[in-house]
Amino acid sequence: MNRNPEVDDWFGAYQHPLAEAMQRVREIILGADPRMSECVKWKSPTFVFEGNLASFNPRSKKHVSLMFHTGATIPGTHPRLEGGADTARYMRFADLAEVEAARPELEAVVHAWCALQAGAPTPGTAARTRRVGGKKRAVVPARRP
Protein backbone atom coordinates (compact mmCIF):
# COMPACT_ATOMS: atom_id res chain seq x y z
CA MET A 1 0.00 0.00 0.00
CA ASN A 2 1.42 3.36 -1.06
CA ARG A 3 0.79 5.40 2.09
CA ASN A 4 2.24 8.89 2.04
CA PRO A 5 3.59 10.37 5.33
CA GLU A 6 2.22 13.77 4.27
CA VAL A 7 -1.29 12.26 4.25
CA ASP A 8 -0.63 10.56 7.60
CA ASP A 9 0.26 14.00 9.00
CA TRP A 10 -2.90 15.51 7.48
CA PHE A 11 -5.06 12.90 9.21
CA GLY A 12 -3.13 13.44 12.46
CA ALA A 13 -3.97 17.14 12.45
CA TYR A 14 -7.51 16.88 11.08
CA GLN A 15 -10.48 16.51 13.39
CA HIS A 16 -13.51 14.86 11.78
CA PRO A 17 -16.36 12.96 13.44
CA LEU A 18 -16.02 10.23 10.78
CA ALA A 19 -12.22 10.02 10.71
CA GLU A 20 -12.31 6.23 11.11
CA ALA A 21 -14.58 5.88 8.07
CA MET A 22 -12.32 8.23 6.08
CA GLN A 23 -9.28 6.12 6.99
CA ARG A 24 -11.13 2.99 5.85
CA VAL A 25 -11.96 4.59 2.48
CA ARG A 26 -8.28 5.44 2.19
CA GLU A 27 -7.26 1.84 2.92
CA ILE A 28 -9.73 0.44 0.39
CA ILE A 29 -8.61 2.77 -2.40
CA LEU A 30 -4.89 2.24 -1.81
CA GLY A 31 -5.36 -1.51 -1.38
CA ALA A 32 -7.47 -1.94 -4.53
CA ASP A 33 -4.58 -1.48 -6.95
CA PRO A 34 -0.84 -1.22 -6.23
CA ARG A 35 -0.51 1.63 -8.75
CA MET A 36 -2.69 3.94 -6.65
CA SER A 37 -0.92 6.49 -4.49
CA GLU A 38 -1.92 9.51 -2.44
CA CYS A 39 -0.84 13.06 -1.78
CA VAL A 40 -2.26 16.25 -0.33
CA LYS A 41 -3.69 18.58 -2.98
CA TRP A 42 -6.15 21.39 -2.46
CA LYS A 43 -5.58 20.93 1.31
CA SER A 44 -7.10 17.43 1.16
CA PRO A 45 -5.95 13.83 0.66
CA THR A 46 -6.10 13.02 -3.03
CA PHE A 47 -5.78 9.60 -4.65
CA VAL A 48 -3.82 9.43 -7.88
CA PHE A 49 -2.67 7.19 -10.70
CA GLU A 50 -1.76 8.88 -13.97
CA GLY A 51 -4.04 11.72 -12.89
CA ASN A 52 -6.31 12.63 -10.00
CA LEU A 53 -8.91 9.97 -9.19
CA ALA A 54 -10.57 11.41 -6.09
CA SER A 55 -10.23 13.75 -3.11
CA PHE A 56 -11.97 13.91 0.23
CA ASN A 57 -14.16 16.94 0.90
CA PRO A 58 -12.89 17.81 4.39
CA ARG A 59 -15.65 20.38 5.01
CA SER A 60 -18.38 17.76 5.00
CA LYS A 61 -19.01 16.73 8.62
CA LYS A 62 -22.30 14.79 8.32
CA HIS A 63 -20.83 12.15 6.03
CA VAL A 64 -17.61 11.18 4.30
CA SER A 65 -17.64 12.84 0.89
CA LEU A 66 -15.30 11.69 -1.85
CA MET A 67 -15.17 13.69 -5.09
CA PHE A 68 -14.10 11.81 -8.20
CA HIS A 69 -12.61 14.59 -10.30
CA THR A 70 -13.46 13.10 -13.67
CA GLY A 71 -15.93 10.51 -12.43
CA ALA A 72 -18.13 10.85 -15.50
CA THR A 73 -15.34 9.27 -17.58
CA ILE A 74 -14.84 6.20 -15.38
CA PRO A 75 -16.02 3.21 -17.41
CA GLY A 76 -18.58 0.79 -16.10
CA THR A 77 -21.73 1.01 -14.04
CA HIS A 78 -21.19 2.39 -10.55
CA PRO A 79 -24.55 3.22 -8.91
CA ARG A 80 -22.98 4.89 -5.87
CA LEU A 81 -21.29 7.52 -8.05
CA GLU A 82 -23.67 10.47 -7.77
CA GLY A 83 -23.96 13.56 -9.91
CA GLY A 84 -25.13 14.57 -13.31
CA ALA A 85 -22.55 17.17 -14.32
CA ASP A 86 -20.24 16.66 -17.26
CA THR A 87 -17.18 15.85 -15.17
CA ALA A 88 -17.23 15.20 -11.42
CA ARG A 89 -19.03 12.47 -9.48
CA TYR A 90 -19.33 11.89 -5.73
CA MET A 91 -19.59 9.02 -3.28
CA ARG A 92 -20.92 9.68 0.20
CA PHE A 93 -20.74 7.42 3.23
CA ALA A 94 -22.78 7.96 6.39
CA ASP A 95 -20.59 5.76 8.60
CA LEU A 96 -18.03 2.96 8.71
CA ALA A 97 -20.67 0.27 8.03
CA GLU A 98 -21.69 2.04 4.82
CA VAL A 99 -18.04 2.22 3.74
CA GLU A 100 -17.70 -1.54 4.24
CA ALA A 101 -20.92 -2.20 2.32
CA ALA A 102 -19.64 -0.05 -0.57
CA ARG A 103 -16.20 -1.65 -0.65
CA PRO A 104 -16.80 -3.81 -3.77
CA GLU A 105 -18.03 -0.84 -5.79
CA LEU A 106 -15.26 1.44 -4.55
CA GLU A 107 -12.69 -1.18 -5.55
CA ALA A 108 -14.39 -1.56 -8.95
CA VAL A 109 -14.13 2.20 -9.51
CA VAL A 110 -10.40 2.09 -8.69
CA HIS A 111 -9.85 -0.88 -11.03
CA ALA A 112 -11.75 0.84 -13.86
CA TRP A 113 -9.80 4.07 -13.33
CA CYS A 114 -6.43 2.34 -13.35
CA ALA A 115 -7.30 0.33 -16.45
CA LEU A 116 -8.51 3.46 -18.24
CA GLN A 117 -5.41 5.45 -17.31
CA ALA A 118 -3.12 2.57 -18.30
CA GLY A 119 -4.87 2.33 -21.68
CA ALA A 120 -6.31 -1.14 -21.09
CA PRO A 121 -9.87 -2.02 -22.08
CA THR A 122 -12.26 -2.53 -19.19
CA PRO A 123 -15.46 -4.59 -19.11
CA GLY A 124 -18.25 -2.72 -20.83
CA THR A 125 -15.98 -0.58 -23.00
CA ALA A 126 -14.73 -0.99 -26.53
CA ALA A 127 -11.24 -2.36 -26.87
CA ARG A 128 -10.40 0.52 -29.22
CA THR A 129 -7.56 2.90 -28.51
CA ARG A 130 -6.32 6.21 -29.84
CA ARG A 131 -3.09 8.12 -29.41
CA VAL A 132 -3.15 11.09 -27.06
CA GLY A 133 0.11 12.91 -26.42
CA GLY A 134 2.10 9.97 -27.81
CA LYS A 135 0.39 7.44 -25.50
CA LYS A 136 -2.31 4.95 -26.33
CA ARG A 137 -5.52 5.69 -24.43
CA ALA A 138 -8.68 3.63 -24.26
CA VAL A 139 -11.59 5.12 -26.12
CA VAL A 140 -14.50 5.27 -23.70
CA PRO A 141 -17.93 5.18 -25.29
CA ALA A 142 -20.43 7.82 -24.22
CA ARG A 143 -22.73 6.72 -21.42
CA ARG A 144 -26.37 6.37 -22.14
CA PRO A 145 -28.90 7.38 -19.50
- Helix/strand/coil for 120: coil
pLDDT per residue as tens digits for the range 13-66: 888 888 899 999 999 999 999 999 999 998 889 999 888 889 998 888 889 999
Backbone angles phi, psi at 49, to 5 degrees: -160, 115
**Band of residue 143 on the pLDDT scale cut at 50, 70, 90:** very low
**Contact between residue 55 and residue 42 where contact means Cβ atoms under 8 Å apart:** yes
**Contact between residue 38 and residue 4 where contact means Cβ atoms under 8 Å apart:** yes
Q: Say whether pLDDT at 97 is over 90.
A: yes
Would 54 be classed as within a structural domain? yes
**Contact between residue 47 and residue 38 where contact means Cβ atoms under 8 Å apart:** yes
CATH number of the domain encompassing residue 85: 3.90.1150
Q: How far apart are CA 101 and CA 64, in angstroms?
A: 14
pLDDT of residue 74: 87
Q: How far apart are CA 65 and CA 35, in angstroms?
A: 23
Would 144 be classed as within a structural domain? no
Q: Say whether pLDDT at 137 is over 80.
A: no
Q: Say whether pLDDT at 136 is over 70.
A: no
Residue 81 has a CB neighbour count (10 Å cut-off) of: 19
Total domain count for the chain?
1
pLDDT of residue 141: 43
Query: What residue numbers bound the domain in which 69 lies?
Result: 5-138
pLDDT of residue 120: 65
Q: How far apart are CA 118 and CA 121, in angstroms?
A: 9
Which residues, other chains included, contact 22 with Cβ-Cβ below 8 Å and sequence gap of 6+?
Answer: 11, 16, 56, 64
Q: How far apart are CA 86 and CA 35, in angstroms?
A: 26
Greater pLDDT, 139 or 8: 8
Helices and strands (H and E) in the chain: how many: 3, 7
pLDDT per residue as tens digits for the range 58-90: 888 889 999 998 888 888 888 898 988 788 899
Mean pLDDT over all residues of the chain?
Answer: 82
Would 120 be classed as within a structural domain? yes
Would 145 be classed as within a structural domain? no
pLDDT of residue 142: 41
